[in-house]
Each structure stands twice: as structure tokens, then as C-alpha cells.
Chain A
């Protein structure tokens, strides 16, 4: 039956993890993620969750402990933010290369310096090349559901890749929203235990993490690439089964008023809600503007967005990160541009960078972005080759 409760994003993730039931949790506290692992520690201490809780001295150790436990066949969880993710970085590659289906809660926070504990997507985006599946939620319910689906996708024998499920620091992590909690028993039925063939087992000894010289390394990277591509099909299957069982339906992208849209905003994370209202407002003024929210960032849903964007005149990509020195300084812009180019679609692209270090994107600014993209679509203004940095002081 489940029950409706008021939960902030951190607790929504903690409750989802408890429902799935990991064997091992290893984590180090960091704002704004701390409440996730605090809540999990409480569940373990009160006997509500039968898991080994490893207190470690750093995120590097947390991720290392996760790798070791997952290699032994355990279901594992960790959570982190910004610098913590940075300290885990080299081990992130090892988790994905060893094909360990770990799940991480990532609460987005800007990278230092200057020291900043607030939301932007620099941490999430900079981990896009570590071989992890990446989900970004826009509500606390979505975060709860994404954790459950993430375990199911990652532990599928066709995938066996780790996944990070992201919520926006403070905006979601510390904001209470209504969340439908499913019965733990039902969640565990949805995410059944799947014993893995490749694991450290004294009865069937094998070596994990050995040297792979130039004669061998390449083949294992190919396997990873194939698994990453395959994970998309598995995600679609899992999402459709999730919808049947729990009644909430998710895609790799979410579309809003895109059917007849001539201008479409593409964004990620909690700000999607602000853009939704901006699109509604401008629609009333007669502008044909729509919105795409990316929920699954890796593997990137290129075919899904191409299908929607090919009918539009202009795409406005609004993102909360900065991809220094890239062909275009926004991660999402590069993904969208590549997807369209490969499909021979030449919809015009306009880029917007916003919200770095937790700078709020006000509704008036989101509306201005929407209006600007619409004016590009009508040919009233020329699209700049460089991104528009929204809200930065000169």
C-alpha cells in the first residue's frame, strides 16, 4: 500500500536505500549530503536496516570500501557531494571497470574554490566520463523512485555498471515535499537479489583488478562501452515495469508542451520546475515554446531528444555547469549538439549558463531565457556563438 509522507530529498534517498536493502554502506559526511548517511546510520542503529555500516576516514576510502564489498558480491550504497566526489574520482573508474553495480546518492554542490556548499552541476557533470550511469531527478519522489530503479538496472546481468542518482543540493536535499513511500517488501520484490558470477568467493577463487596490458585492456573497455549502451534498453524495461507496479512513469527525458513547439528549452535538475512555469506563462502569450528535462544523463538519450528537437527552429540549452575550454563551455550543450549533428538535424542552438555556486535562477530570469529563445525562433535576434551567462555581474 505504501504511505504518503513529507520528506526532504536526502531522506527520500535514505528511505529508498533502506527499502532496497543494501548489505554494506560506506560513507563520509559532506554537506549537503550528510543527512542521507546520517539517516541510514540511524536505520542501522535502530535495527530497521540489516547492513554493515563502515565509518571511513575519507571519500577515497568510502569508495574503496564500496568497491571491495561490491566485488565480494554485496549490494552497496554510498553518498557524496562535490569535493567528496572529487576525492573518490580515481575509484569511480575502478568501480565501473570492475563492473560493480554500486549505487551512489549524489547531492549536487559546486566545486571549490572559492569554498561553496551550494548547488550547481559541476560535480555531477565532471563525473560523466567515469563509466557510471547517471540519473538526475527533479523532485524528491523522483529521487526515491530513481534509487530503486537504479539498483534494478545496475544489477541486471546485461549491465553491471555503477549508477549515481542525483538531487540538487539544498533546493531538493533540504526541501520537504510529499513523497509516496512504497512498502519495503514490495520494493525488495521489485529489486530481487541476483547473485553475480563474477565475485570474490573463497569457494570459487578468482582474481579481480589484475594487470591488463596492451594485449588485453582495450577489449575490456569495449565491453564497458557495450554495457553502457545496453543499459538504456534495460532502463526502459525497468521504468515500464516500475510504472506497472507502482503507478509512476519515467522516461530518460521528460517533455512539456513540445508537440507544436518552435522553440524548446533543454535543462536538467530542479530548475526544470521553474522553466515549466515560465513555459506555461509564455504559452499564454502565444509563444510556441516547450521544455525537455534530461533525467538520464549517461547514457545520453540522444535519439529521444533528436526526435523532439528536429521539429523545432531553436533549442535553448540552459545548464548549471561550466565546461572550461571545451568547444562550447557547457557539458549539456555539447551532448545536444553532437546528438543533433549525428542525426543530420541542424536546429539552431543557443546556450545559457546559470546558477553557479547556488546562485538562484529567479523566475523572471527563467522567463527572460524562454522569451529570448522564442525571439531567436522568430528571427528577431541573432543567436550568439557563446553562451549567455545568466545573472553574472560585470
Chain B
């Protein structure tokens, strides 16, 4: 809750203006999550659909090499940014090869 360390009405910009964008990055929405998406890098075919569908831009496309057990080599890897992922599950729902599973947090 409100703390005495937070700025008071005398120092805050008027009209509740946010004058130092992009402050949304400071808001770690990952704390909202009850289920986390986990990507199975073996099943993932790098189609980019999860990246495109994620409403929060929390799917990261990384230039990180990955070689599957069967020897298929990818130059990119998709990972979830858990600081911002709200756990909505859209990625898991849209994944055409069912490479993403929703795992309960704290379980």
C-alpha cells in the first residue's frame, strides 16, 4: 500500500501526467501469473506464431542456436520473458505443434 517513501502531492506532476515514458517497463506484470507457459524446444518448429500472438510482447525471439536430439539445427530460439508474461495462455492455445504447455505456478 501507499508508503511514505513514495512522492507526495507537492512533488508529483499535476493531472496524474506520466512525464517520463516508458514507465510500463517498470511494471512487472509477471506477478499476475497463475500458470506459466513452458516451451518444449524439441517440439518447437520456430513458426513465430506465439511471438505474433502474445498480447504483451513477452515472447522473445533470440538469436540463439539450438540443435534437436534428432539433429535439426535452428538459428533462433523462442523464450518467454517471465517478468512480463501474465500467463494468459494465448501462445499455448495458438501453437500449431503443441510445443507450449501451461504449468501451474508454485506447483
Distance (whole angstroms) from the CB of B17 to the closest CB of chain A: 5
Contact of B2 with A160 in the complex, beta carbons under 8 Å: no
A214–B15 Cα distance when bound, in Å, is 15
Do residues A206 and B12 form an inter-chain contact, with CB atoms below 8 A?
no
Contacts of A215 in B (CB 8 A): 1-2, 6
Interface flags, B1-20, vs A, CB<8A=1, else 0: 11000111100111111111
Asked if B107 is at the interface (CB within 8 A of a chain A CB), the reply is no
Chain A residues with CB below 8 A from B9, complex form: 219-220, 222-223, 226
Q: How far is the CA of A195 from the CA of B9 in the complex (A)?
A: 22
Q: How many residues of B contact A (CB 8 A)?
A: 17
> What is the CB-to-nearest-CB distance from A51 to chain B, in angstroms, rounded to a whole number?
24
Question: In this assembly, does B71 line the interface, its C-beta being within 8 Å of a C-beta of chain A?
Answer: no
A389-B66 Cα distance, complex, nearest whole Å: 86
Verify if A327 is at the interface (C-beta below 8 Å from B).
Answer: no
CB of A208 closer than 8 Å to a CB of B: yes
B15 and A207 contacting across the interface, CB-CB below 8 Å? no
The interface size bin for chain A is 20 to 34
Compute how far the CA of A206 lies from the CA of B21 in the bound complex, rounded to whole angstroms: 6
Across the interface, name the chain B residue whose C-beta is closest to A216. Answer: B16
Given contacts A220-B12, A222-B9, contact A207 B2 (CB under 8 A): no
Mark A193-227 against chain B: 1 for CB-CB distance below 8 A, else 0.
Answer: 00000100000011111101011111110110011
Contact A205 B21 (CB under 8 A): yes
* A271 CB → nearest B CB, Å: 37
A219 close to B18 (CB less than 8 A): no
A98 interface hit (Cβ, 8 Å):
yes
Whether A207 pairs with B17 at a CB distance below 8 angstroms is yes
Query: Taking chain A's interface residues, is the majority helix, strand, or loop, or is none over half, making it mixed?
Result: loop
Measured between beta carbons, the chain B residues less than 8 angstroms from A217 are: 16
Within 8 A of B (CB), among A181-196: none
In angstroms, Cα B105 to Cα A49, docked, is 63
B1 close to A206 (CB less than 8 A): no
Contact: A214 with B21, CB < 8 Å?
A: no
A220 to B13, CA, bound (A): 9
CA–CA, A212 and B16, complex, Å: 7
- Tell me, in angstroms, the Cα distance from A149 to B19 when the chains sit together: 30
Q: Complex: how many Å from CA A223 to CA B14?
A: 7
Return chain B residues, CB-CB under 8 Å to A160: 14-15
- The yes or no answer to A97 lying at the interface (CB within 8 A) is yes
Find out whether the CB atom of B16 lies under 8 angstroms from the CB atom of A220.
yes
A207–B18 touching, CB < 8 Å: yes
**Could you tell me the distance in whole angstroms from the C-beta of A356 to the nearest C-beta in chain B?**
37
B14 touches A198 (CB 8 A): yes
**B19 engages A219 (CB within 8 Å):** no
How near does chain B come to A64, taking the closest CB pair, in angstroms?
A: 16
Give the Cβ gap from A98 to chain B, nearest Cβ, in Å: 5
A99, CB-defined interface residue at 8 Å: yes
Report B-chain residues with C-beta under 8 Å of the C-beta of A214. Answer: 1-2
A40 to chain B, nearest CB (A): 27
Give the complex CA separation of A206 and B22 in angstroms.
9
Give the residues in chain B near A198, CB-CB below 8 Å: 13-15, 17, 19
Offer 19 A-B interface pairs, CB within 8 angstroms, sorted by A. Answer: A99-B14, A99-B15, A198-B14, A206-B18, A207-B17, A208-B15, A208-B17, A210-B16, A210-B18, A212-B16, A216-B16, A217-B16, A219-B8, A219-B9, A219-B12, A220-B12, A223-B9, A223-B14, A227-B14
New A-B pairs, 20, CB < 8 Å, besides A207-B23, A223-B14: A99-B15, A160-B14, A198-B14, A205-B21, A206-B18, A206-B19, A207-B18, A208-B15, A208-B16, A208-B17, A209-B16, A210-B16, A214-B2, A215-B2, A216-B12, A217-B16, A219-B8, A219-B9, A220-B12, A226-B9
